[in-house]
Structure 1
């Protein structure tokens, strides 16, 4: 069962960054950096953190690295030490075939995670029926946060019927919509609205290319004779793992006008600026090959990471990507939180804190 305070926060909507992985130049876990990142997000005012997800690098599960349990434990320790409120949403990434997914669900629940963000990446050999069965088994262990991952980074396209059946599963509590495609995003909203569990499922954007518009939109979906209103209430985003203090401020401004008849045009402009920044961070011009390294590079520049290294050698900045990050830094100084980070770095890296 999901704690009532967590469920309330989940449905009201909040900022949930996808937690990156701090590494040394030898590709070993940088524990001090990993803890500092978690402290950064907590002090920035987020409402939850997702760990062991795509931005954390799925490869932490590989036997040669064996970092999954260690990374999840570090984050829980910092969330507990950070005096986070009872409503703080602790999310663990869950991947792989049924046996692996169940083991990760059991472990995550045992150390205090509230929900499992269930990825369906890397399972293209399974049918939609088999993936529904997998979800039902995981949901029997831990509340499930569904995840529609874009095909460019390992996801696949699912039918409307799949998402309708997914939403009908007891203990599915939320869905992260991240296909980076308006048509497929709408499929999920429509499917949830056609589910008898519509009111029990919170929708979150993972569409880093359309964050602000997703959060400002109220959907009106016809289901039989009923017209259902549904909003995407918050975000669980890799993009929100950088410049996070400013993200929290932006989100508060958006929540103030969500559902209003007239949306301030400056928020729409802000949305396009954020999309442009994301194009640089996520390396959209190179099919997102440098997405994780791009996020790490921003954190490196701020002093939160030692470098932009990833576990796999092929995961690195693309040619010209660093210059694109330079460009968006110059173009949108109002989006970064460098001063906030600079003022707190010493505290976050102090192991006595």
Structure 2
């Protein structure tokens, strides 16, 4: 796959959760079902080993990074044969230079097309060192830069940093997820000013998905205005209600192409953000983010529990009720019927 060109076309890419059983053991059966669900829902890729997959899979006592990456790749490739559609496999890469390089090499070995690189381990290092870190990983596998919000362990980067990242030849995309409009604009401006029209922009701003997808961004390069669009999403939010999310994504792309649907997009944007507030537990500074994702999937019968590897990571007070509220309030944005129709086949 030419992953650069593929990502430039624009796709809906969910962050893949981790399925655990009642004893907090990895459930391969439910994990396969999730992968099958995402492919059947029409996703253009999968991000595995990222925040939604739980960073604890890397801990020696769990030893799950390779098994999880391998199972997702094998299942996705088998489903691709059935669907006949391409699919980009993106591996989360974390840690210091040595650890990140090892993870990148493993991802490449397992057939992943690109790496989404978390720089949390370099949170206190100078920006040029962080850019050099990304450049080093990009020599092993194509890199997707990642602007992670501080509430989830990220840091604020400067415009100059993103110009430097955009200048790295084998950076193929940037996931923009600072949950901050000013910082989102800076990333896009940096890409334009670097002259990188071959670098795909993806939203990771789960709190403003629709606005990101529909907004035209214009900045100057070489004295001329350049208009860029965020072409897709790589989102934890899209790990649930996925078939409905893919339909909405395609509708937004069609709208941009001049095929208006008559939808009130501002109202839809507010509805999606309201749903995300419940899902990601914004009321408690995202403490219940991963359990919230798993709880939706549990209610649909796709996973057995909403358990995390960290037993202290649980739903927050009132979060379950909020998930019920938003699912009832926005029935066109959930996919319970789709899941119920196919779930048994996915769990085979």
The alignment's TM-score, normalised by the length of structure 2, stands at: 0.97
Aligned counterpart, 1:203: 201
For the pair 1:89 / 2:106, whether they are aligned, the reply is: no
Distance apart, 1:8 and its partner CA: 3.0
Summarize deviations over 1:194-217 as a string: whole Å, max 9, x none: 113x11200000000000000001
Aligned counterpart, 2:121: 122
**Separation of aligned partners in 1, 2:218 and 2:262:** 21
1:8-47 residue pairs with structure 2 within 5 A?
8-47=5-44
RMSD between superposed Cα atoms in Å: 1.5
Aligned counterpart, 2:181: 182
Distance apart, 1:262 and its partner CA: 8.3
**DSSP-derived class of the 2:231 partner:** strand
**Separation of aligned partners in 2, 1:268 and 1:138:** 39
Aligned counterpart, 1:158: 157
**DSSP-derived class of the 1:308 partner:** coil
**Separation of aligned partners in 2, 1:68 and 1:273:** 35
Distance apart, 1:163 and its partner CA: 0.4
Distance apart, 1:126 and its partner CA: 1.6
Q: Which runs of 5+ in 2 are unaligned?
A: none
Summarize deviations over 1:154-183 as a string: whole Å, max 9, x none: 111100000000010010000000000000
**Aligned with 2:54 (options 49, 54, 57):** 57
Aligned counterpart, 1:315: 313
Contact in 2 for aligned 1:9/1:88 (Cα 8 Å) = no
Q: Which runs of 5+ in 1 are unaligned?
A: none
1:144-293 residue pairs with structure 2 within 5 A?
144-196=143-195, 198-258=196-256, 266-293=264-291
**DSSP-derived class of the 2:287 partner:** coil
Summarize deviations over 1:127-179 as a string: whole Å, max 9, x none: 11111111111000000011111110111110000000001001000000000
**DSSP-derived class of the 1:221 partner:** strand
Aligned counterpart, 1:298: 296
Distance apart, 1:70 and its partner CA: 0.4
Aligned residue pairs: how many?
Answer: 346
**DSSP-derived class of the 1:313 partner:** coil
Distance apart, 1:325 and its partner CA: 0.5
**DSSP-derived class of the 1:294 partner:** helix
Distance apart, 1:122 and its partner CA: 3.4
User: Measured at CA, do residues 184 and 85 of structure 1 come closer, stay the same or move farther in structure 2, by a change above 3 Å?
Assistant: farther
Contact in 1 for aligned 2:254/2:260 (Cα 8 Å) = no
Distance apart, 1:317 and its partner CA: 0.4
Summarize deviations over 1:188-247 as a string: whole Å, max 9, x none: 000000113x11200000000000000001111013412111110000000000010111
**DSSP-derived class of the 2:232 partner:** strand
Distance apart, 1:268 and its partner CA: 1.8
**DSSP-derived class of the 2:121 partner:** coil
